[in-house]
Amino acid sequence: MGDMDQEVDAELRTSHLIETEDLAKRIASGDSTLRIVDMRGAVKTTQIAEGVQTADYCGSRSEYDLGHIPGAIYLDWTRDIVDLTDSVAAQAAPADKVKSVFEAAGIGDHNLIVAYDAHPASQFATRLWWLMKYYGNKNVRVLNGGWKKWIAEQRPVSTETPTYPAARFTPRRAPEWRVISKEVAGMIGSPDTAIVDARDPDQYTGRIRRGSRGGHIPGALNIPRELLFSEDGTYKPPAELAHTFVEHGIPVDKHVVAYCNGGVAATSVLFALSMLGYRRLSNYDGSWNEWAELEEMPVEG
């Protein structure tokens, strides 16, 4: 990799991630443009039969109340940024709801948004990043290492719930960031498209299933999002990430469609790809929660 490539990598990385030290400096400086968003939550699974599990999607407001990064506001990934009227769980909230929620929270067009969570693959923070991209806002970062790293470094913690002035947020939908089941079905077998399954191998093979059917979308490549992270919960260096994707047969010019169970873990993969300069990226938001229940859609396993 030449010097120019290294500079491009660094620029891409800093336009996606913010390090704990840099965030601490911004907080200490009293940066009024900063809006830190605590996205902590969980997916709690229950085994109901051999190889069959259910999942409950949960916010973690109580954890936020016990302590959070100073100045952070809390958004519940299961309620605040989803369409509660959709029959498929955890689908992206419509533009009017996003506008209303963000403006009430004081998140506007000119704020720098920093999202964090406590998930080992930052999937709730990257879910907010993806939603912001879908609605045309590029001024968002994910805290590298999240809450775990912040606490490990013994950085300041607050129990105060801040209030910010109402802001103006303007959704400008970028439809290419979100695809639906019929579009995905049409991409199966396309040499121009790589479909990536971000779930663990047991779900990919169908050894463990959620919903009516197990397995995966035909032709999908299994890249569990955990492969992209170091042991401390930070994203791996660019060269290692690039090697992972190239090794799986995904060159930078491919259109990549990622999915998981609910379109959340998939965003960890899309985030990493975007950091590497991939530009044709889409989230199948319905993911396996929807696909498994659509009898007309093919399954491999």
Residues annotated catalytic, as ranges: 260
Note whether 285 and 184 are within 8 A (CB). Answer: no
Integer Cα distance of 154 and 78 in angstroms: 29
Q: Which of 188, 191, 208 is nearest to 200 (CA)?
A: 208
- Using the structure block, give the residue that is written with the tokens 């470094």: 153
Identify the bridge partners of residue 158 per DSSP, sorted by sequence position: 68
